[in-house]
Amino acid sequence: MSGMDTITPLAPGTSTRSPPPRVRRISGLSDRAVVWLFIAPTMFLLLAINIFPLIWAIRLSFTGFMANLPRPLGFIGIDNYVDILTDEDIWTNFQVTAHFVFWTIVLQVLIGLALALLINQKFRGHSFWTTVILLPMMLSPAVVGNFWTLLLQPQIGPFNYFIGFFTGAAPSSFTMIGSVSLAPWTIVMVNTWMWTPYVMLICLAGLRSIPEYIYEAAEVDRASSLRQFWSITLPMVTPFLMLAVLFQAIQSFEMFDLVNLLTSGGPGSTTELVSITLKRAAFEKWQTGYASALAVILFVTVFGAANIYVKLLNKVKQQ
């Protein structure tokens, strides 16, 4: 590691105004040793438990290996990729996932931003109610998925009664989980319920970052409140909103736990997200090679999309 030679103690940073004094130490480890000692364990752990498996998965994706059979790897080239990309069912799963991600994001952004704007009116007790609203996102998604199955039971669950009370529909006349047309919306609804607070919290930070004098200047110019919203609030909040969307899009795209317990992909495959397909291929059908190829596709998609998005985000920030 010849690059290590460039390590100097304390380059002037944001908090130092004058260059740091050169310090001679009589005993103790050199700074170079300290930095190595401090960073290496983390790097080693990440390489062993994240990168090594990833590389292995890439290797496996070119084989017909099945983890439950004691067989050699058996390289089959890009067959797995060809199989996946020409499989109608997989495309259906990607469509289901896209529907889920898209509507989750739309609803989260609309409701989250609206809530943030309302909370920013600083009514009495707003900080207490903000904390109450945050609760769902702190819970375990798996446990949330599980307990919503009780709430959504058409007969014994309270949800259908709640809806019936407001719409007049008979509570047992519809089933949120068992119906082909409703189930894709059910997973959107529960995920939105859980993660809207996330978007709200980030939007709230965005709103609070807007300096007051901008609004004061706008008042002096007699700009209407609507005008102020469109030309001050919204543009200033957009970078924050985009960050929230990035995190939520990645998370929804990789969604497994909540939906696995809520609908386990059913009825039929109407809520079968890609990660549920992946789990089934890997741990139920034991098509390890095939599942690895799907995993690589999933990872490349997330990583590629995230990279493009971050570039976009940086452009917006600069404006």
Partner 1 sequence: MSDAPSHRPFSEPAPILRWLAGVIVVTYALVSVLPIAWIGMTAFKSQSDAIAYPPKVFFTPTLEGFVDLFTVQTHQPHDFIVKLPPPTSWYEKLARDHDKVIAGPSRVIERFVNSIIIGFGSTLLATFLGTLAAYGFSRFKVPLADDLMFFILSTRMMPPIAVAVPIYMMYRYLNLYDTRIGMILLYTAVNVSLAVWLLKGFIDEIPREYEEAALIDGYTRLQAFRKVVLPQAVTGIAATAIFCLIFSWNEYAFNLLLTNSEAQTMPPFIPFIIGEGGQNWPAVAAGTTLFLAPIFVFTIALRKHLLRGITFGAVRK
Query: Is position 316 an interface residue for partner 1 (rule: CB under 8 A)?
Result: no
Is 138 an interacting residue with respect to partner 1 (CB under 8 A)? yes
Task: Judge whether 68 and 295 are in contact, CB under 8 Å.
Answer: no
DSSP label at residue 311: H
Tell me if 129 contacts partner 1 by CB under 8 A.
Answer: yes
Chosen residue from 81, 250, 267, 269 binding partner 1 by CB under 8 A: 250
Instruction: State which of positions 16-45 bind partner 1 (CB under 8 A).
Output: 16, 20-21, 23, 25-31, 34-35, 37-39, 41-43, 45
Please say which residue, 180 or 303, places its beta carbon nearer to partner 1: 303
Token pair listed for 123? 């009514």
The alpha carbon dihedral of 296, 297, 299, 304 has a sign of positive
Torsion of CA 258, 250, 97, 194, to 10 degrees: 40
Q: What is the 3-state secondary structure (H, E, C) of 107-141?
A: HHHHHHHHHHHHHCCCCCCHHHHHHHHHHHHHCCH
Span of 77-85, 95-103, 176-184, 200-208 interacting with partner 1 by CB under 8 A: 200-208
**Residues 81, 94, 185, 215: which binds partner 1 (CB under 8 A)?**
215
90 lines the binding site for partner 1 (CB under 8 A): no
Rounded to the nearest 5 degrees, what angle is found at the Cα of 269, between the Cα atoms of 267 and 275?
Answer: 120
Cβ at position 156, least distance to partner 1 in Å: 5
Closest to partner 1 by CB, 76 vs 205, is 205
The torsion region of residue 65 among left (phi > 0), alpha (psi -120 to 50) and beta comes to beta
Q: Give the rounded distance of the alpha carbon of 157 from its chain centre.
A: 29
If binding is defined by CB under 8 A, does position 226 make contact with partner 1?
Answer: no
Report 156-195 residues binding partner 1 (CB under 8 A): 156-158, 161, 171, 193
In the bound state with partner 1, the residue whose beta carbon lies nearer, of 180 and 304, is: 304
Q: Taking contact as CB under 8 A, which single stretch among the options 71-79, 87-95, 96-104, 255-263 is the one that binds partner 1?
A: 255-263
Which range of residues in 10-18, 73-81, 83-91, 99-107 is near partner 1 by CB under 8 A? 10-18
Q: Is 309 in the site for partner 1 (CB under 8 A)?
A: no
Q: Which is nearer to partner 1, 4 or 180 (CB)?
A: 4
Q: Give the Cα separation of 255 and 274 in Å (integer).
A: 8
The single-letter code of the amino acid at 84 is I
CA distances from 318 to 184, 204, 235, 241 (A): 38, 21, 12, 15
Cα radius of gyration rounded to whole Å, the chain: 26
Among 188, 240, 241, 249, contact with partner 1 (rule: CB under 8 A): 240
299 binds partner 1 (CB under 8 A): yes
**86 in contact with partner 1 (CB under 8 A):** no
Query: Binding of partner 1 at residue 205 (CB under 8 A)?
Result: yes
**Residue 46 corresponds to which amino acid?**
L
Q: Quick check: 151 binds partner 1 (CB under 8 A)?
A: yes
Question: Under rule CB under 8 A, which residues in 56-85 are in contact with partner 1?
Answer: 56-57, 60, 67
**23, 30 contact by CB (below 8 A):** no
Q: How many residues bind partner 1 (CB under 8 A)?
A: 118
